[in-house]
């Protein structure tokens, strides 16, 4: 890639796409294609083919996706499968037909088997069934990975398939019906503090262990891989920093200045018991994350809700769990 390359980012209005667009602009890339949904419906094959023929991008980051947490996956499985499969199918074929130099199409950690040995290595892909609570999204991602690798084999397409862990950051979706765990908890504790609620309930037992990565670090890793990695073999993108959900909730509550009781609800689904990636291959190439989980949460809260409350009422007291 050089600074005059024509670079298409699908999903540029989203969290990761927005971070990547800002990063590329900061680095002096001058010809970015950032079509909004109103300009380009990626589920429409003819529209996608026409856009690629007219715009003729050199590099494509396909970051558009229908995403959401356990609640959204459970209530809209058909939309998750259809929209994500259609979008990536159309983009991959249009990239091939248009002679794109290189395509980056992310997979997702949820595409790995539910009971894969932890931390999960890339070789675990397709070695077992995914977590049932996000099977629709995982199935679409698996299809995209297999399709991209098939195009690499049959047509010689240059594709990059990063497997990022759970992303969060500025631009996250805070809709209670669709939010992932960090924005959902952030909204819950912020609202609880504002209303003076004596307790706040979190889904599940609080025991599942997760790994999270700040959106700017995901963008940094994607750009690094587009420039330096030239293989269709999937490659994990994580931080190696893991935390159980209850400890995460306490961290977010402290950031939001919430001092009430945190109550777990074991009747709600937990999802995978532990999901942490082995990102040794990426680190061996020379990439490292720059933002810790605590710092990322602080930045995100400050952006979406104003100044962080870590030293708020109670002279440093933190929320207590039930």
Give the start-to-end residue ranges of the domains of the chain: 6-168+213-237, 181-209+241-274+292-321
Whether residue 221 contacts residue 147, with contact meaning beta carbons closer than 8 Å, is answered with no
Q: Are 200 and 190 in contact (CB under 8 A)?
A: no
Q: Which residues are catalytic?
A: 137
pLDDT tens digits along 23-50: 999 999 999 999 999 999 999 999 999 9
CATH match for 6-168+213-237 among 3.40.50.410, 3.40.50.300, 3.40.50.20, 3.40.50.720: 3.40.50.720
Model confidence pLDDT, tens digit, residues 110-119: 899 999 999 9
Structure tokens at 242: 């893991």
Assign domain 181-209+241-274+292-321 one CATH number from 3.40.50.300, 3.90.25.10, 3.40.50.2300, 3.40.640.10: 3.90.25.10
Element (H, E) at 98: none
What pLDDT does 149 receive? 98
What is residue 77's predicted lDDT score, i.e. its pLDDT?
Answer: 86
Q: From residue 41, how far is each of 33, 48, 87 by CA, in Å?
A: 14, 7, 9
The mean per-residue pLDDT over the stretch 310-316 comes to: 40
pLDDT of residue 70: 65
Residue 178 pLDDT exceeds 90: no
DSSP letter for 129, please.
Answer: P
- Residue 311, pLDDT > 70, answer no
Residue 313 has pLDDT above 50, yes or no: no
The per-residue pLDDT for range 80-123, each reduced to its tens digit, is 899 999 999 999 999 999 999 999 999 999 899 999 999 999 99
Mean pLDDT of 296-313: 76
């Amino acid at each position: 890639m050089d600074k005059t390359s024509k670079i298409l980012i699908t999903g540029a209005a989203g969290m990761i796409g927005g971070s990547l667009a800002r990063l590329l602009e900061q680095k002096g890339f001058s010809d970015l294609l950032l079509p909004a949904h109103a300009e380009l419906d990626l589920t429409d094959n003819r529209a996608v083919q026409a856009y690629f023929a007219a715009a003729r991008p050199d590099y494509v980051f396909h970051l558009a996706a229908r995403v959401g947490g356990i609640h959204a996956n459970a209530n809209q499985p058909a939309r998750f499968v259809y929209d994500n499969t259609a979008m990536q199918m159309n983009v991959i074929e249009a990239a091939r037909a248009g002679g794109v130099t290189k395509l980056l199409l992310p997979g997702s950690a949820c595409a790995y088997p539910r009971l894969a040995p932890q931390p999960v290595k890339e070789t675990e892909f397709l070695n077992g069934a995914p977590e049932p609570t996000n099977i629709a999204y995982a199935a679409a991602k698996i299809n995209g990975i297999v399709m991209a690798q098939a195009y690499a084999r049959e047509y010689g397409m240059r594709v990059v398939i990063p497997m990022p862990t759970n992303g969060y950051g500025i631009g996250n979706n805070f809709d209670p019906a669709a939010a992932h765990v960090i924005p959902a908890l952030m909204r819950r504790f912020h609202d609880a503090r504002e209303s003076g609620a004596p307790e706040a309930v979190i889904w599940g037992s609080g025991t599942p262990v997760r790994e999270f990565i700040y959106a700017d670090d995901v963008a940094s890793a994607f750009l690094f891989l587009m420039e330096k990695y030239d293989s269709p073999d999937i490659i994990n993108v994580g931080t190696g920093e893991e935390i159980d959900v209850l400890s995460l909730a306490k961290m977010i509550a402290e950031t939001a200045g919430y001092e009430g009781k945190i109550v777990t609800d074991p009747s709600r689904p937990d999802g995978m018991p532990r999901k942490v990636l082995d990102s040794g291959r990426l680190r061996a190439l020379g990439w490292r994350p720059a933002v810790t989980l605590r710092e990322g949460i602080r930045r995100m809260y400050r952006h979406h809700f104003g100044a962080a409350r870590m030293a708020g009422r109670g002279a440093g007291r933190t929320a207590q769990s039930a």
